[in-house]
Structure 1
Amino acid sequence: MPTATVPEPVEGYVPLAALPRPSGLAERLESVVRAARAGVPGAAPELLALLKPVIARYCRARIGGRDLSYLSADDVAQEVCIAVLQAVPGYEDRGGSFLHLVRAIAANKVADAFRAVSRDRSRPVSDVPENADLRDGPESHTLTADLGASLGRLLAGMPKLQQEILTLRVVVGLTSAETGKALGISPGNVRVTQCRALAKLRDSIHEQGLAEALLA
């Protein structure tokens, strides 16, 4: 009876249950990816567990409450997870970060979703946010939807890099260093761009008269 092949230990990889406390996402990812490529048992599920919440938050932030009819933000996130796992065997660490690849795959899948909807003119795209409080009356619901749509337009009007940094830092919750690795820029550049983006967003909110609505 043939014996099962036991994968060689992977340098830097320790099963999640054996870690005394959580490590930084970017650093943890690199060791888990190496283990997954080497076929270490449990590494691929752990990789998915690490990335799934990050990918879901990213897709929800980029898609927002837009109704893509047959595709939701979570559907897109699932496609991203599948694509990331498929990319692992061919991934080569050339001094970059696996987060950069993940962000690129997620951005492409989100863009694909919007292109698919734009080709289907029979299915309108709504700007109603998913987190609108359905317990409120119709007037409150409408005001909340209008506010969400207005904020979405303000963000969409910002430079692409500023949009990505605000999404990764504020919504996804990555650190400046992790965001820099995901975007291929320095942490200092991330902080400066984020500061400018937030200042621009604050100015736009006041110009559009949205400040009182946000504080209500």
Structure 2
Amino acid sequence: MTAGTRALPVQDGDAALIARSLREPEDFATVFDRHYPRIHGYVARRLGPGLADDVAAETFLVAFARRERYDLTHPDAGPWLYGIASNLISQHHRAEQRRYRAMARAGADEVSDGHAEEVAVRLDAQARRAPLAAALAGISKRDRDVLLLVAWAGLTSEEAGRALGIPAGTARSRLHRARKKIRAALDRTSPTTTTTGEDHRP
């Protein structure tokens, strides 16, 4: 048994499937089925639905071509796939910037149905959408990548660092810097609201 396989909790973990796919390429289809919906959803949030299909599909084409280089000590291929997706998203930097700026200009949508409490919650969320989008457009791409991998993809800062090929400490520093800017933007829209801790995410 190799050092890579010792870390696998189950026989059909992502790492085991990727290893087997070197001999049986069709085994990679299970990795695709497991992760495609989340990768597609993440890309759609960053670039919009118009580009999501192509970028998500290309993520798995790149992953398949690079599967020989996958680190088999990591059973979950999610961070690796999000890293590939992030690199592809960076090729659409201008489209992402335009998306956030359009959201910032649009402001809150009208809400005319639902119970009063639900409407109030939705209005509050929509009121924050514009400054959030403006703040996302205003932070550096490097900081935004880490922030959104944590906030939208659900990765830890360590996983985000691994996905982007940077040290965990660098990822934490970028995350902290990005969160400070996001909090400042949201606090300007809600002066009576205070935020504490590290769990307030866009």
Structure-2 separation of matches of 1:61 and 1:104: 15
- Give the fraction of aligned pairs with identical amino acids, expressed as a percent: 19
Q: Which moved more, 1:87-96 or 1:166-175?
A: 87-96
Aligned-residue offset at 1:185: 0.6
Residue number in structure 1 paired with 2:189: 209
Residue number in structure 1 paired with 2:51: 76
Q: 1:42-95 CA deviation, whole Å, 9 max, x = no partner?
A: x222211332243134224324xxxxxxxx43x533222321332245314187
Aligned-residue offset at 1:32: 3.3
Residue number in structure 1 paired with 2:130: 149
Q: Which has the higher helix share?
A: 2
Structure-2 separation of matches of 1:84 and 1:37: 18
Q: Equivalent of 2:85, from 80, 87, 102? A: 102
Q: 1:113-160 CA deviation, whole Å, 9 max, x = no partner?
A: 559x89xxxxxx56559x9867359x9777754531221001111121
Q: Equivalent of 1:87, from 62, 87, 91? A: 62
**Aligned: 1:181 with 2:162:** yes
Could you tell me which runs of 5 or more consecutive residues in structure 2 were left unpaired when the two chains were aligned: 73-78, 196-202
**Aligned: 1:32 with 2:8:** no
- State the SS of the aligned residue for 1:148: helix
**Aligned: 1:135 with 2:113:** yes
- State the SS of the aligned residue for 1:172: coil
What is the aligned length?
Answer: 176
Q: Equivalent of 2:179, from 191, 198, 210? A: 198
Residue number in structure 1 paired with 2:31: 47
- State the SS of the aligned residue for 2:152: helix
In structure 2, the CA distance between the partners of 1:60 and 1:203, relative to structure 1 (3 Å rule), is same
What's the TM-score, normalizing by structure 1? 0.60
Contact kept, 8 Å, 1:57 with 1:171, in 2: the verdict is no
Residue number in structure 1 paired with 2:46: 62
In structure 2, the CA distance between the partners of 1:104 and 1:31, relative to structure 1 (3 Å rule), is farther
Q: Which moved more, 1:195-204 or 1:84-93?
A: 84-93
Could you tell me which runs of 5 or more consecutive residues in structure 1 were left unpaired when the two chains were aligned: 1-10, 64-71, 119-124
CA RMSD of aligned residues (A): 4.2
Aligned-residue offset at 1:174: 0.9
Aligned-residue offset at 1:164: 0.9
Q: Which moved more, 1:181-190 or 1:143-152?
A: 143-152
Q: How does 1:2-17 map to 2 (within 5 A)?
A: 12=5
In structure 2, the CA distance between the partners of 1:154 and 1:52, relative to structure 1 (3 Å rule), is same
Over alpha carbons, which structure has the higher Rg?
Answer: 1
**Aligned: 1:159 with 2:140:** yes
What's the TM-score, normalizing by structure 2? 0.63
Contact kept, 8 Å, 2:59 with 2:88, in 1: the verdict is yes
In structure 2, the CA distance between the partners of 1:132 and 1:107, relative to structure 1 (3 Å rule), is farther
Structure-2 separation of matches of 1:191 and 1:170: 13
Structure-1 separation of matches of 2:130 and 2:65: 40
Residue number in structure 1 paired with 2:76: none
